[in-house]
A = this chain, B = another copy of it.
Amino acid sequence: MDHWTIYLSGEIHTDWRAQIESQALAAGLPVSFTAPVTNHEYSDDCGVAILGSEPNKFWHDHKGAQMNAIRTRTLIENADLVIVRFGDKYKQWNAAFDAGYASALGTPMIIMHEPENAHALKEVDAAALAVARTVDEIVAILRYVIAGELKLTKAAAE
C-alpha cells in the first residue's frame, strides 16, 4: 500500500494533530491526515452561517451538526486508520460516536487518552487495536505499522 489515509478524530483544543502530522512527515511516512473542521466556532455555526439563522437553538445545532457530518462521515469512510483522542474537557460524545462508527465499519482504530479516563473509556478502548497516551507513542505506532520501523529499547528492559 503506497499511502495510508488517517483520520484524526476528537479533541480540537490542543495541537496534537499538528504534532502527529509534523513528526510523521519528518519520519518520511507515506501518510496523509484528515480531520473534522477544528475551528470550534465554525463547527458550531456553519449551518446557520450558510443556510440561514434559526431562532431555536436545537435546529441551529442540528443544521451545523448535519453539515459537519457531510465532511466527517466521508472522511471516516475513506480512512485506512482512525485515531480518536479524548482530551480533558467537554463531554466529547462526538469522539465516542466516531469511534463507534469506525468500529462498525471494521476500520482499525487507535484511542488516545490520559490514564484517568481509562475506566470510563473501557468499551471504546476495547474496540481499538491500540490505546496510547502520547503523540510520541502514536507516531511510533505509525512508524511500526506502516514502515516496519521500531526501537526496541523499552522492550529490551524486560
Please report A residues at the B interface, Cβ cutoff 8 Å.
1-2, 4-5, 32, 34, 37-39, 41-42, 45-54, 56-75, 78, 80-81, 86, 90-106, 108, 110, 115, 117-127, 129-132, 137, 140-141, 144-146, 148, 150-155, 157-158
Contacts and interface: CB of A to CB of B under 8 A. Distances in A.
Contacts of A146: 71
Given A68-B145, A71-B145, 17 more contacts: A42-B152, A46-B144, A48-B155, A48-B158, A50-B150, A61-B122, A67-B144, A68-B123, A68-B126, A74-B81, A86-B93, A90-B120, A91-B120, A91-B121, A94-B123, A97-B99, A101-B104
Contacts of A60: 158
Contacts of A72: 123
